[in-house]
Amino acid sequence: MFVKNAWYCAGWSQDLTLGRDALLTRRIAGESVVLYRQPDGTAVALDDRCRHRQAPLSLGRKEGNGLRCMYHGWLFGPDGRCTAIPGQAEVRQAAAVRAYPLVERNDWLWVWMGDPARADPALICDSVGPSHPEWDLRTAHIGVNTNYRLEIANLTDLTHVAWVHADTFGGTTAYSAIRAKQTITARGLDTEFWARGVPAPTVAQHLFPAEARFDLHFDVSVTVPCNFILKFKVYTAGTATEGPSNGQLLVDTFSSQSVTPRDAESVDYYYSWGARRGTTAPGLVDLLIEANHAAFLEDKRILEGQFQRMKERPDFATLDYAHDSGPGKMLFVLDKLLREEAVATSVA
Amino acid sequence: MFVKNAWYCAGWSQDLTLGRDALLTRRIAGESVVLYRQPDGTAVALDDRCRHRQAPLSLGRKEGNGLRCMYHGWLFGPDGRCTAIPGQAEVRQAAAVRAYPLVERNDWLWVWMGDPARADPALICDSVGPSHPEWDLRTAHIGVNTNYRLEIANLTDLTHVAWVHADTFGGTTAYSAIRAKQTITARGLDTEFWARGVPAPTVAQHLFPAEARFDLHFDVSVTVPCNFILKFKVYTAGTATEGPSNGQLLVDTFSSQSVTPRDAESVDYYYSWGARRGTTAPGLVDLLIEANHAAFLEDKRILEGQFQRMKERPDFATLDYAHDSGPGKMLFVLDKLLREEAVATSVA
Amino acid sequence: MFVKNAWYCAGWSQDLTLGRDALLTRRIAGESVVLYRQPDGTAVALDDRCRHRQAPLSLGRKEGNGLRCMYHGWLFGPDGRCTAIPGQAEVRQAAAVRAYPLVERNDWLWVWMGDPARADPALICDSVGPSHPEWDLRTAHIGVNTNYRLEIANLTDLTHVAWVHADTFGGTTAYSAIRAKQTITARGLDTEFWARGVPAPTVAQHLFPAEARFDLHFDVSVTVPCNFILKFKVYTAGTATEGPSNGQLLVDTFSSQSVTPRDAESVDYYYSWGARRGTTAPGLVDLLIEANHAAFLEDKRILEGQFQRMKERPDFATLDYAHDSGPGKMLFVLDKLLREEAVATSVA
């Protein structure tokens, strides 16, 4: 169902404060995880169930670097080891909860759900966080009641912008003719393409003359489970060449998006969007994130509807077409990793 | 579970407008159906899932006579054939969605859920719609969370009026002594009976002297899945003879009711009630439909409670009595049709 | 799942009035029960489903000593025997619904869910009701979405007061060091302990100087399914001896609590708390019940969270510790009774 040996986004850094009662509980890849910060700010992720009788630690109390279960008072350190059991002198080794490797990077909290020995921070996707000085970014979050494979299919075929986002980022059917360059990577899929000579997107058409045309460049990297890093640049039409371009760059944007499956039926979607300082204008970044939120509600409507229909007819024989190659490649990578984990688990 | 070779009511004609965004999605006999009108007003019913990846077509867009899926832009004609797939030259025959035979009659939309070759409009139940010039009718709709077999049992034994509808159409226990003439038909059950010398129903007792008595004549035709056509006449007591009566007719009413199972646990109930022009009085038809709605809420409470109890004890041994003959006959017809379809399907 | 040969609390006497429409429906140990009073006040408990087709009798109508199903009018006496079937002369013996033995005692309604021949009122737990002249008691009710075994574990280990109730009845971790005397009884567990030299509980700390200390005596009797009778006394610290004490008694309280499982996932929790007249003060009993309600919301949060986590990981290997002995003993008694009933049922 889920690749366990992967970094999953558990939220934005700013979501986890140093507040006395700041205990976040998250459902990640089918597991309940509690997050908190130690007094020095170090974030911790533990199994959100006491080793005793599964009471949620997220209903507990922070004490020093540790977390106390508030059912019977068992105290756990940030490594998950139990350090005190009130009413009992002995504290056995077995009285530990699982601690998940956690890395905070680019303003995101990343939790490794698999074998801790394999938790290599180099596998965390490269991104830009909202605190990066060269970028002006906004962040947001949305919940979607769908299976994360449908999110993967959505994000690896951007021709859907023409239709799903006709009222926001679309405004042209040119997207449907995209011929993207797609390259399978070790843990994902890279996509690059131009949309040339297109009108402004629907949300920005009021800002330009009707005849204005643009060249858009998309550089997308998707990695498991479903992290989507987008470098999106807008040029005056006809001025931009292939490759690193010396065209008339109008705006240089960056979006970090991470879809974390909670379970088989829902996901948390964390995302940012914004522009490189110096290529923006007053109100532009606000427009981007506002439009992005509107667009993700459009996706949510489609993906929840599609998931509902899939549950009605799980044996429906799907029909492929040209633009399924992106989703096909990314799901191929995902399924390969799932198979490898299944083999490793059965051997171990 | 459901007879497929049958016309199912998908709603009132007036529910489906020519509006730009007028796309109705209905759950009928376990299937999701999208309905829309072509520019000339012809209503269309298609499987509410794109042939590609099951995105709901009801989230799509009307274009000419067709319907475009707004996930990747596949365009379907009113016959379900795909006419365009953006980004791909070839449109294969296989890229079609199921189109359901649809007939609009007496202000109702009827959809055939089975073999299109057998979709005979002559099987549509005879009724009177609210636009009929000789009748003054009102329409309504209610949803009930129950299995449709319980609705069948409710509608083929009107003795329940004495009890369930004590506060509306009852007001006398005379109904419990009804000896109805019930005749099995090819696809249903006809019921005819008199209730003689009864007081006014509870909802109308304030309109008459306490001693006023009436003869009521019921002529009911129920057909699969659960269409209930009621001709109900009220006479001054003692003046009406059997058969076509020359008694003193006070009001001549007509009610068309159609119960469409959405799935095994819920139904849509579309109904009308009203009186023949010339036999009515100001406010009378409004009283009828208002009382009918109140009565159907009474039924809903009982049928939902009964269904809840049945789910608690699916192996409960029921106990029959005299008035179960109507329900028994109608369910016999239903089960016979279900068996015939099962045989036909297994042979095919 | 549930011990059937046991008295289950169906609510407070005051919940069941003589009102015309006063029909209570309760889910008790997986069964639906309807309760009403006869005109002389005698309470009756019947299976809440008509013998005919399972319509809920709680949607029915009281008539004399009986209850009429308002679907088709079948009338049942307080013994469950059917006395009239409208439209049919014959009323067969089979047309009866199950009547449950019911005893009203100490302002509680008790229903026996098993073999009526074994319904011995002597098995009803000893308690004090709110109408007892020597006591000033308040009553309340709360619903909890948890399995009742978790309630049993909660109530037979009061060390949890230190943690779960830190903001109400706690205020000291002394509870976690309790060494209670626990005695298995025929159908439950008796617990007795002192908490000596403790500060006032959090909810009452504003009433005393910070240095005030108290000796608290707990005398608890728990019986199946989950009836909790608490005699709780507060003394000035250092004045009370073991056994019947001649110490300086400050307040003498009594709490009757009964947890009735509705099904495997939820319970009804009926409880009272108050003080013996002469040991109370204006506002004290109101404080007790108010604090109790706040404390039970604390329990509810933990027990619902714990139950959620248990459903996520039904195969979780729990880890025991010193204070599990109370829950262990009581669940041992419960499981012993469950096994005995299973054997008796398979033999019969």
Which chain C residues touch A92 with a CB distance below 8 Å? 319
In angstroms, what CA-CA distances link B228 with B175, B185, B222? 19, 14, 5
**Cβ pair C160:A71 closer than 8 A:** yes
Helices (H), chain A: 148-155, 161-164, 284-312, 325-347
Q: What is the spatial distance between Cα A338 and Cα A334, in angstroms, rounded to a whole number? A: 6
Q: What is the spatial distance between Cα B64 and Cα B68, in angstroms, rounded to a whole number? A: 10
Q: Could you tell me if the ipTM is greater than 0.90? A: yes
Q: Are the C-beta atoms of residues A290 and A319 closer than 8 Å to each other?
A: no
> DSSP label at B202?
G
Beta bridge partners of A232: A218, A253
Q: What is the spatial distance between Cα B170 and Cα B201, in angstroms, rounded to a whole number? A: 5
In the numeric block, which tokens belong to residue A313? 């007819």
pLDDT at C283 > cutoff 80:
yes
**Cβ pair C159:A86 closer than 8 A:** yes
Q: What is the spatial distance between Cα C120 and Cα C5, in angstroms, rounded to a whole number? A: 10
Phi, psi of A273 (to 5 degrees): -155, 150
Q: What is the spatial distance between Cα B152 and Cα B193, in angstroms, rounded to a whole number? A: 18
> Which chains reach chain C with 3 or more Cβ–Cβ distances below 8 angstroms?
A, B
In angstroms, what CA-CA distances link B115 with B49, B120, B227, B341, B345? 19, 10, 20, 10, 11
Residue C348 — pLDDT band, cuts 50, 70, 90?
low
- Chain B interface, best mutation among A159, A169, A319, A323, by max B CB count within 10 A: A319
**Cβ pair B55:A305 closer than 8 A:** yes
Give the nearest partner residue to A312 out of B32, B55, B86, using CB atoms: B32
Q: Nearest-CA residue of chain C relative to A85?
A: C321
* Closest alpha carbon to A258 in A157, A100, A110, A48: A110
- Chain A interface, best mutation among B72, B76, B93, by max A CB count within 10 A: B72
To the nearest whole angstrom, how far is the Cα of C286 from the nearest Cα of chain A?
26
Which chain B residues touch C96 with a CB distance below 8 Å? none
Dihedral (Cα; C29, C30, C31, C35), 10-degree rounding: 50
B195 interfacial to chain A (CB closer than 8 Å): no
Q: Are the C-beta atoms of residues A55 and C309 closer than 8 Å to each other?
A: yes
Give the nearest partner residue to B319 out of C52, C55, C71, using CB atoms: C52
**Cβ pair C323:A87 closer than 8 A:** yes
If you compute the radius of gyration of chain A from its CA atoms, what whole number of angstroms results?
22
Which CATH architecture best describes the domain A135-337?
Alpha-Beta Complex (3.90)
**Cβ pair A159:B94 closer than 8 A:** no
Beta-carbon contacts of B254 under 8 Å, excluding residues fewer than 6 positions away, are: B128, B135, B137, B230, B231, B232, B272, B273, B274, B275, B276
Give the nearest partner residue to A55 out of C159, C305, C319, using CB atoms: C305
Q: Nearest-CA residue of chain A relative to B91?
A: A321
pLDDT at C168: 96
pLDDT at A262: 98
The total of other beta-carbon atoms located within 10 Å of residue C348's CB is 6
To the nearest whole angstrom, how far is the Cα of B132 from the nearest Cα of chain C?
34
In angstroms, what CA-CA distances link C336 with A156, B51, C4, C331, C332? 58, 58, 13, 8, 6
Phi, psi of C209 (to 5 degrees): -65, 150
Q: What is the spatial distance between Cα A59 and Cα C160, in angstroms, rounded to a whole number? A: 14
Give the nearest partner residue to A72 out of C160, C305, C312, using CB atoms: C160
The residues in B 132-191 lying below 8 A from C, measured between CB atoms, are 153, 157, 159-160, 162-164, 166, 173, 176-178
* Closest alpha carbon to C31 in C100, C110, C115: C100
B262 interfacial to chain A (CB closer than 8 Å): no
Which chain B residues touch A312 with a CB distance below 8 Å? 32, 49
**Cβ pair C70:B302 closer than 8 A:** yes
Q: What is the spatial distance between Cα C40 and Cα B275, in angstroms, rounded to a whole number? A: 49
pLDDT at C244: 60
pLDDT at B92: 87
Q: What is the spatial distance between Cα B83 and Cα B88, in angstroms, rounded to a whole number? A: 11
pLDDT at B89: 87
Q: Are the C-beta atoms of residues A147 and A307 closer than 8 Å to each other?
A: yes
Q: Are the C-beta atoms of residues A296 and B30 closer than 8 Å to each other?
A: no
A71 interfacial to chain C (CB closer than 8 Å): yes
**Cβ pair A73:C308 closer than 8 A:** no
The region of weakest confidence among A102-111, B232-241, C28-37, C154-163 is B232-241
In angstroms, how far is CA B189 from the centroid of its own chain?
Answer: 15
For residue range C252-278, list pLDDT tens digits in order: 999 999 999 999 999 999 999 999 998
> Can you tell me which residue has the tokens 């009803």?
C124
Q: Nearest-CA residue of chain B relative to A170?
A: B70
Q: Based on the number of CB atoms within 10 Å of its own CB, is B210 exposed (0-12), middle (13-18) or buried (19 or more)? A: exposed
Which chain C residues touch B301 with a CB distance below 8 Å? 59
pLDDT at C347 > cutoff 80:
no
Give the nearest partner residue to A87 out of C153, C177, C312, using CB atoms: C177
Length of chain B: 348
In total, the C-beta contacts within 8 angstroms joining chain A to chain C are 78
Q: What is the spatial distance between Cα A24 and Cα A21, in angstroms, rounded to a whole number? A: 9
> Can you tell me which residue has the tokens 């049919």?
C88
**Cβ pair C55:B309 closer than 8 A:** yes
pLDDT at C243 > cutoff 70:
no
Q: What is the spatial distance between Cα A228 and Cα C76, in angstroms, rounded to a whole number? A: 67
pTM: 0.94
Q: What is the spatial distance between Cα C257 and Cα C289, in angstroms, rounded to a whole number? A: 12
Q: Are the C-beta atoms of residues C191 and C222 closer than 8 Å to each other?
A: yes
- Chain A interface, best mutation among C163, C169, C173, C308, by max A CB count within 10 A: C163
Q: Nearest-CA residue of chain A relative to B30?
A: A312
> Which chains reach chain B with 3 or more Cβ–Cβ distances below 8 angstroms?
A, C
pLDDT at C238: 87
**Cβ pair A71:C322 closer than 8 A:** no
Q: Nearest-CA residue of chain A relative to C304?
A: A55
In the numeric block, which tokens belong to residue C91? 């009323």
pLDDT at C153: 97
pLDDT per residue rounded down to tens, chain B (348 residues): 999 999 999 999 999 999 999 999 999 999 999 999 999 999 999 999 999 999 999 999 999 999 999 999 999 999 999 999 999 988 988 999 999 999 999 999 999 999 999 999 999 999 999 999 999 999 999 999 999 999 999 999 999 999 999 999 998 888 998 889 999 999 999 999 999 999 999 999 999 999 999 999 999 999 999 999 999 999 999 877 766 666 789 999 999 999 999 999 999 999 999 999 988 889 999 999 999 999 999 999 999 999 999 999 999 999 999 999 999 999 999 999 999 999 988 776
To the nearest whole angstrom, how far is the Cα of A320 from the nearest Cα of chain B?
6
Helix (H) or strand (E) holding B302: helix B284-312
Phi-psi region of B107 (alpha: psi -120 to 50; beta: other; left: phi over 0): left
Q: Are the C-beta atoms of residues A116 and A273 closer than 8 Å to each other?
A: no
**Cβ pair A56:C309 closer than 8 A:** yes
Averaged pLDDT for residues C196-212: 94
In angstroms, how far is CA C307 from the centroid of its own chain?
Answer: 19
Q: What is the spatial distance between Cα A45 and Cα A28, in angstroms, rounded to a whole number? A: 11
Beta-carbon contacts of B21 under 8 Å, excluding residues fewer than 6 positions away, are: none
- Chain C interface, best mutation among B149, B308, B309, by max C CB count within 10 A: B309
Beta-carbon contacts of C210 under 8 Å, excluding residues fewer than 6 positions away, are: C199
**Cβ pair B70:A323 closer than 8 A:** no
pLDDT at A279: 87
**Cβ pair C55:B305 closer than 8 A:** yes
Q: Report helix, strand or coil for B12.
A: strand
pLDDT at B244: 60
- Chain A interface, best mutation among C172, C302, C324, by max A CB count within 10 A: C302
C14 interfacial to chain A (CB closer than 8 Å): no
In angstroms, what CA-CA distances link C203 with A49, C157, C170, C200, C234? 29, 21, 8, 8, 15
- Chain B interface, best mutation among C70, C75, C98, by max B CB count within 10 A: C70
DSSP string of A275-344, one letter each residue:
EETTS--TTHHHHHHHHHHHHHHHHHHHHHHHHHHHHH-TT------GGGHHHHHHHHHHHHHHHHHHHH
In angstroms, what CA-CA distances link C62 with A47, B1, B294, C47, C87? 54, 37, 22, 15, 20
**Cβ pair B302:C71 closer than 8 A:** yes
- The beta strands (E) that lie in chain B are given as 7-12, 24-28, 31-37, 43-47, 61-63, 66-68, 75-76, 82-84, 99-100, 102-105, 108-112, 135-144, 181-185, 188-198, 214-223, 227-236, 249-263, 266-276
pLDDT at C134 > cutoff 70:
yes
Q: Nearest-CA residue of chain A relative to B33?
A: A309
In the numeric block, which tokens belong to residue A295? 């667009």
Q: Start-end ranges of CATH 2.102.10.10 in chain B?
A: 7-123
**Cβ pair A306:B54 closer than 8 A:** yes
Q: Nearest-CA residue of chain B relative to C61?
A: B163
Q: What is the spatial distance between Cα C287 and Cα C51, in angstroms, rounded to a whole number? A: 47
Residue C72 — pLDDT band, cuts 50, 70, 90?
very high
Return the CATH class of domain C7-123: mainly beta
Q: Are the C-beta atoms of residues A66 and A83 closer than 8 Å to each other?
A: yes
Q: Start-end ranges of CATH 3.90.380.10 in chain B?
A: 135-337
Higher-pLDDT residue of C240 and A45 is A45
pLDDT at A243: 63
Q: What is the spatial distance between Cα B51 and Cα C20, in angstroms, rounded to a whole number? A: 58
Phi, psi of C13 (to 5 degrees): -55, -40
To the nearest whole angstrom, how far is the Cα of B225 from the nearest Cα of chain A?
22
Q: Nearest-CA residue of chain C relative to A25?
A: C305
The residues in C 302-331 lying below 8 A from A, measured between CB atoms, are 302, 305-306, 308-310, 312-313, 316, 318-319, 321-323
Q: Are the C-beta atoms of residues A329 and A189 closer than 8 Å to each other?
A: yes
**Cβ pair C59:B301 closer than 8 A:** yes
Q: Are the C-beta atoms of residues C130 and C285 closer than 8 Å to each other?
A: no
For residue range C13-49, list pLDDT tens digits in order: 999 999 999 999 999 999 999 999 999 999 999 999 9
C49 interfacial to chain B (CB closer than 8 Å): yes
pLDDT at C294: 97
